[in-house]
A and B are shown apart, each in its own frame.
Chain A
């Protein structure tokens, strides 16, 4: 009983101190330094052109028109978030599906068929796996170079552009591995599409 009574005031005191130090001070110092040194990154790496915010470099959007590069399939969500006027906002979520079920086999079959129908010039070439699988966040900003190259003919045709020009834009938006080793090569889908539309230059 005495041990309890001795411990309680010390526990309260320590908790208050650590709440101030680790909750308020630590968070505040990191935020302050972040805003000072890395304001663009700390603010979400928003891509702006002519005063319009077109999205975060690190969050994917939904593209389905033939003239755009398409990203990973996702379970898009328009019911969780609204703006101050009550308008629905787009967000994403992962599928969390098992890749070993019969339902999954059927779903992938449909996606492969849809992808081939949308890209007739690619014939029966195997469809890059990124284009038929959902990502971990449902907001993957990227596709693999293979998935981007698969769509070049369709995009070029829909826009009346030379395929080489489409490839040039894709290459400009391709990031290599970190230090040449870590992670995987990625093509940023939103940046490609902003460049295709001429909104972003380089």
Chain B
């Protein structure tokens, strides 16, 4: 019962916060006055002066795309270099060595593309300098890049017979200064108050209340007794060479500041290897509420920004409703399956799975403090958005629960999706929908008063298919490489799911994982890195090209013959097209993985 209340409240809080934020972002986009203007506008103008940017100068779509590309390339080179050199740079109290080239390439591609796939484990691989000056910066700017491209795309609809789509440098500056910085300062401080760490100290060690006996090979000795004299025995036999571990490792660092932006910017890559399942990154239900709402806050708000910007609030609402319906359906399937657990866990009733004085259900890979409700909701949110942070291990979800998280990524990350990119991806699907609907009723397809012609269609198809191509080609090649088998943590159909999930995560720019999969090998690092870059930058070019085409057209008057793009029929069609492309692309692969596993486990 209380679980049901949680699900409803999480969605309600999200909507209540997203609507006003959407209106605020619309003001930021057009440079209008907001309540923070008198503090932040001087900062914004200072940046323009330093950069010698002319705010009035508009870019055409090619100039905009080149600016995105050059800026991302600069970030790429810097982040790659700082990882290779972190061993000799300051800000490294743990004394960690430089990162290997393949892992550094993967991590760089991952953060520049707003994916934040973690082939690394933060606390044992990356220095504080790399985390703060490298990763955190990309968390900000890759998120801002997505939003900037969305702004340019929206201008394709608002402008009439023009070539300019706005100015990339201005859009970036406004997004970072007026939206991301103030929002994240508040979120980060709330998180620290809730117990997330934020310091410059080296990792601490603490005394274990119960020391742990370990064999000479580093294996924990189960059932070991540690004598007064330090002699270790197991069932009366003395174990030679056994060691006694008396202290625990407690990681430190600047978690709260990084967690805030990784959540709000749909980045997802955190300071800890286990991400927001770690007690120091997400210690309780309060921090979890903030982190989880932050996942979808900006992507949801941008729907309302879009409606306000094109002066057609109904259009923004229609897109929002389509996304929300898909999210709620997905969440429902995950929640039901996780609460029901599996026969393998139930042990014919020997394991108590009821929800009395405990969460019950499939608790494998889930933290006690989050139970089923807050874990399932996070899983749906993080894979609907291309966030990819986790507070539970998706690898240990039930076959169907895990499948839904995978499917949400395979749909192209358009159910809210990444900040900016989720909405422009969904709008490409909307263009596809009006085209198909137009064909069915024999009308010239148009969207928001702009005629949709072969040029827009070609690019839209490319935007919509970039994710399936990246996922299917990537996982297809990987399935043929023998050594990928060694990376699997589970056998059989679930092992295949681990690999499919990895490439789905890369192709959707999501970043979450079936984390038993050992992704830190040269082949996987490089291939996943390439998938992420393809799935990020091909749609950006396509989106800007469409915007360039649309901006140059005249606006058609709405007549009785215009197909409505805001009514229930259109919402239904849009969802249908999204699911159709996803299902057609991925049903065969899903049948080999989670669906096969489901039938095997129920048999």
Q: Which residues does A use to contact B, with CB under 8 Å? A: 3-4, 7-8, 10-15, 17-19, 21-24, 26-27, 29-31, 33-35, 37-38, 41-46, 52-65, 68, 72, 76, 78-81, 83, 87-91, 93-105, 108-109, 112, 124-130, 132-147, 149, 175, 177-178, 181-186, 190, 193-194, 197
Contact = CB atoms under 8 A, between A and B. Distances in A.
Interface in B58-103: 62-63, 66-67, 70-71, 73-75, 78
A191 to B, nearest CB: 11
Given A135-B363, A178-B284, A184-B285, 9 more contacts: A4-B66, A15-B74, A55-B208, A68-B210, A133-B345, A137-B274, A184-B374, A186-B369, A193-B210
B109 to A, nearest CB: 17
B288 A182 contact: yes
Contacts of A35: 198-199
Closest 7 CB pairs of A and B: A183-B285, A96-B516, A58-B279, A136-B277, A144-B358, A184-B371, A126-B352
A27 B70 contact: no
Given A17-B51, A24-B132, A94 B274 contact: yes
Given A30-B257, A100-B598, A41 B63 contact: no
A90 B133 CA distance: 29
B398 interface: yes
Contacts of A103: 491
B283 interface: yes
Interface stretch (B244-252, B458-466, B530-538): B244-252
Contacts, number: 416
A22 B140 contact: yes
A14 B71 contact: yes
A143 B2 CA distance: 18
B209 interface: yes
Interface residues of B, number: 139
Given A18-B141, A142-B368, A175 B284 contact: yes
Interface string B436-479: 00000000000000000000000000000000000000000000
B192 interface: yes
11 contacts: A26-B140, A62-B210, A90-B208, A94-B274, A104-B345, A109-B347, A136-B367, A146-B358, A181-B5, A184-B370, A185-B358
Nearest to A126: B352
Given A3-B66, A41-B193, A104-B344, A15 B210 contact: no
Nearest to A145: B357
Interface in B250-271: 250, 252, 254, 256-258, 260-261
A58 B286 contact: no
B396 to A, nearest CB: 6
B254 A10 contact: no
Given A63-B210, A135-B365, A30 B347 contact: no
Contacts of B176: 18, 21-22
B233 to A, nearest CB: 14
A43 B214 CA distance: 29
Contact of B359 (A34, A61, A141, A144): A144
Contact of A89 (B188, B249, B286, B492): B249
B209 A72 contact: no
Nearest to A52: B207
A132 B347 CA distance: 11
A78 B175 CA distance: 44
Contact of A112 (B75, B280, B347): B347
Contacts of A64: 210, 222-223
B552 interface: no
Interface stretch (B297-305, B308-316, B385-393, B541-549): B385-393
A190 B250 CA distance: 14
Given A30-B257, A94-B277, A182-B289, A129 B361 contact: yes
Contacts of A68: 209-210
A68 B208 CA distance: 13
B573 interface: no
B215 to A, nearest CB: 10
Given A10-B51, A59-B248, A126-B352, A22 B256 contact: no
Contacts of A26: 136, 140, 181, 184-185, 257
B306 to A, nearest CB: 25
Given A78-B218, A133-B363, A137-B367, A96 B515 contact: yes
Nearest to A143: B368
B124 interface: yes
A128 to B, nearest CB: 5
A61 B208 contact: yes
B169 interface: yes
Nearest to A17: B47
B197 interface: yes
B342 interface: yes
Contacts of A143: 368
Contact of A46 (B204, B273, B350, B393): B204
B399 interface: yes
A22 B181 contact: yes
B344 A127 contact: no
Nearest to B517: A96
B194 interface: yes
Contact of B2 (A10, A18, A95, A177): A177
Interface in B198-222: 198-201, 203-210, 212, 214, 218, 220, 222
Contact of B205 (A12, A89, A132, A149): A89
B345 A56 contact: no
B489 interface: yes
B201 A80 contact: no
Contacts of A128: 351-352, 358
A147 B192 CA distance: 29
B277 A137 contact: yes
Nearest to B69: A7
B137 A23 contact: yes
Contacts of B53: 10
Contacts of A63: 209-210
Interface string B129-156: 0001110110111000000000000000
A14 B390 CA distance: 31
Contacts of B257: 26-27, 30-31
Contacts of A181: 2, 5-6, 9
A43, A62, A98, A133 interface centre (most CB from chain B within 10 Å): A98
B279 A90 contact: no
Contacts of B63: 3, 7
Contacts of A99: 341-342, 344-345, 362, 364, 396-398
B189 interface: yes
A19 B133 contact: yes
B413 interface: no
Given A53-B204, A184-B369, A93 B274 contact: yes
B56 interface: no
B363 A130 contact: yes
Contact of B247 (A41, A89, A109, A190): A89
